[in-house]
Amino acid sequence: MSRHPFDRRDFLKTAVASTAAVTVLPQAALGWSGKASGSHIETESVPGRAPYSGPPRLRFAVIGINHPHIDGQIGAVQRGGGELASVYAAEPELLAEFTKRYPGVRVARGEDEILQDGSIQLVLSSIIPDQRAPLGVRVMQHGKDYMADKPGITTLEQLAEVRRVQAQTNRIYSILYSERHENRATVRAGELAKAGAIGKVVQTIGMGPHRISLNARPPWFWVKPRFGGILCDIGSHQVDQFLYFTGSTQGEVVASQVGNFKFSQYATFEDFGDMLLRGDKGTGYIRNDWYTPDGLSTWGDGRLTILGTEGYMEVRKNNDIGRAPGGSHLYLVDQKETRYIDCSQQELPYGRLLVDDVLNRTETSMPQAHVLLATELALKAEAQATKLTFQA
């Protein structure tokens, strides 16, 4: 057998610099029963980064707070040194709750008050999905950068307009793909993949199940033109990860399908969807659903498998059934052994890098082309999806 081309000593230097000592965990502690040589599980601690504590680096505002993801968006920018200056929302009840969570924020009288404020450099939004792209266009046309919740764009026509205005204004149109940017194990897996820990990445398999929480959903949630469809909405997370981990800068939808098997009372809703993607540097399979049962301790058993020519990684994003509690679990298998990597101290760099990009006119948080290609593939998968119906 030929020697593994990625030396483990180099791997530890590159990917786990300054790490704590490696501890071997008992197999029983994680439900592990492997017998082959090297089938133990180790845990490696990931070094953290001190939180930002200096003066504000920029002022940002929020327009539209229809999804609670706005809290994660704000948290990311605040970790990067951003100061929340003002908010506008059309719904008084949402605004009342928001100002309780952020008591120091100034409430604007309207959208234009924020757009005309020269001190605001960045606008965040989790407005109803079909309104996110039109708002982002207006933000860019007023000389500001923009960060939307996903799905950041709901139609191919909106995408074309976003591309046109972004190129015209040279402003940033970012979409917070939180299943990558806000999950510590996924961030760590990205660092390891880029360091060559599993060889060349050739495929990702992304699973994005979600709990429906019927009584907590607003009316627009059930109307496809408002949220774009399941592959446009949830699927954009996994498309982003497929592009990122394979390094693909081009892609196509090989096949896609959607269905509504449980919630037929909502005529345009989709509760299941999957797609097969092909990029210029790898392939991807994605499955999304709204079937997470109440017996699970979290909103969805999200998983990402990253297959390389010299090994693979699995990210168990929100839980690890029957094993370790909590989320952000990372397993790595290479030619030598199997490791469990503790990611609890892993920095989430997206917010810091986005603030850098706003200030320096760079693309370190995400290349603009990547942001829009991930959305484009999700929209095309939705548009060409076969509609599934099964006999009772």
161-201 residue pLDDT tens: 999 999 999 999 999 999 999 999 999 999 999 999 999 99
Q: What is the per-residue pLDDT for 390? A: 86
Q: What is the per-residue pLDDT for 53? A: 79
| Contact in structure between 233 and 227 (CB atoms under 8 Å) | yes
Distance CA 385, CA 256 (A): 5
The three-class DSSP label of residue 255 is strand
Residue 212: closest CA among 274, 286, 300, 317: 300
Q: How far lies 74's CA from each of 12, 58, 80, 351, in Å?
A: 34, 13, 10, 9
> What fold does the segment set 1-45+179-392 form as a domain?
Dihydrodipicolinate Reductase; domain 2 (3.30.360)
CATH H superfamily, domain 58-176? NAD(P)-binding Rossmann-like Domain (3.40.50.720)
Q: What is the per-residue pLDDT for 40? A: 45
Helix (H) / strand (E) containing 73: helix 70-79
Q: How far lies 95's CA from each of 92, 133, 147, in Å?
A: 5, 21, 19
Q: What is the per-residue pLDDT for 31? A: 38
Domain parsing of the chain, residue ranges: 1-45+179-392, 58-176
Q: What is the per-residue pLDDT for 100? A: 97
Model-wide pTM > 0.75: yes
Residue 225: closest CA among 383, 372, 67, 381: 383
Q: Which residue has the tokens 């002022």?
A: 59
Q: What is the per-residue pLDDT for 49? A: 73
- Segments in the chain below pLDDT 50: 1-40
